[in-house]
Amino acid sequence: MTVFACAGCGAPLTVPLSRVALPAHARQYGSHVLLGPLLEPATYAVETPGGSIAVAPGDLRGTGVIPGRTGGDCFGITGPDGPNLACERCGAPVATRIDDCGWWQVTWLEPAAVRRVPGPEAPVLTWAELRTARLPVPPVEDDCWSPLWTAAVAAALPGVLVRSGGSRVAVPRGLLAGTFGRALDALLPPGPRTRTLGLDRTADITLVPRHPQTGAHDDAAGAVPLEYDVWAYLALHRELPAAAERHREEPAPRLAWGAFEADGYVFRDALRRIPDAGEPWLREIRERVEDRPLHYPF
């Protein structure tokens, strides 16, 4: 476990925390949707590049709001003028609290303003243990597509595009086609479908789980990491095919209003992290989303 302390005076600023992988939706903006905590209690994640440290707001200690730094995008605070939390002992600006509609609830520690006080780390769950310890995230909530899904698919799409080599991709019918297929058809150049996308090694491009604690994933040729909670629903969850085969007390699967739209800003940011290898078709996609990240299919 790790405690973060003020780099200036040494005052502890957090409870003991275990490191996890930064979620794909960390910087997602949901317009006026009310979003929950970014991280589970007693965990932290590090953003790269930059090194900002994400912490659940309830895990912070010994800080106070900086007067005049309470600006936000709507009726809350987002830190547009810089860090809005200071160390209570010495007054140094140390963190930015995000608490506004459209943003995930989180506190970002300034990497230069804090120091790590390391301790014994929590054990890393095996893939088998994850299946019982974490429930898959359903794709639909309150009749809308889950923002976790729109971010996770958007973060994985650039990897699928690169591994397609610019060829159109055949996607199995069902939820995989409904989430990935529409965007791939809109982004890739016209032509025959010479590549396949799937969840096992029979496909040319395979979606593989990204470990929620370490961020590790299978890096075999053709593998594209996908957030574990979304991958688990696609790979492990099974809907009954017909109402007649479902127990009368079991609820029918929920359907979303409207077609699935991956998050354009998350996609753009993920695409920026992929080196430009000079492919004209991929460069055209880059230019398109840089100018209009919310244009079809996002």
Is residue 40 helix, strand or coil? Answer: coil
Q: What is the CA radius of gyration of the chain?
A: 21
Q: Are 66 and 94 in contact (CB under 8 A)?
A: no
Q: Amino acid letter at 174? A: G
pTM, to two decimals:
0.88
Nearest to 40 by CA among 64, 62, 23: 23
CA distance 204 to 198: 8
Number of domains in the chain: 2
The per-residue pLDDT for 239 is: 53
Query: Domain check: are 168 and 284 in the same one?
Result: yes
Query: Domain check: are 106 and 179 in the same one?
Result: no
Task: Please tell me what DSSP assigns to residue 179.
Answer: I
Residues of the chain with pLDDT under 50: 240-250
Nearest to 229 by CA among 107, 147, 174, 144: 147
- CA–CA distance from 285 to each of 116, 127, 154, 183, 240 (Å)? 40, 35, 14, 12, 38
Q: What is the pLDDT of residues 147-186, one digit of tens each?
A: 999 999 999 999 999 999 999 999 999 999 999 999 999 9
CA distance 87 to 73: 24
The per-residue pLDDT for 242 is: 46
The per-residue pLDDT for 121 is: 84
Q: What DSSP string runs through 100-145?
A: STTB-BEEEE-TTTEEEEE-PPPPPPPHHHHHHHSPPPPSEETTEE
> Of 122, 141, 162, which residue is a domain's last?
122
Q: What is the pLDDT of residues 75-106, one digit of tens each?
A: 888 988 999 999 999 999 999 999 998 899 99
CB atoms under 10 Å from CB of 269, counted, come to 19
The per-residue pLDDT for 294 is: 73
> Of 104, 122, 140, which residue is a domain's last?
122
Query: Domain check: are 170 and 114 in the same one?
Result: no
CATH number at residue 37: 2.170.150
> Of 91, 122, 153, which residue is a domain's last?
122
Query: Domain check: are 132 and 276 in the same one?
Result: yes
Query: Domain check: are 86 and 138 in the same one?
Result: no
93-98 and 106-109 strand pairing: antiparallel
Nearest to 20 by CA among 234, 228, 235: 228
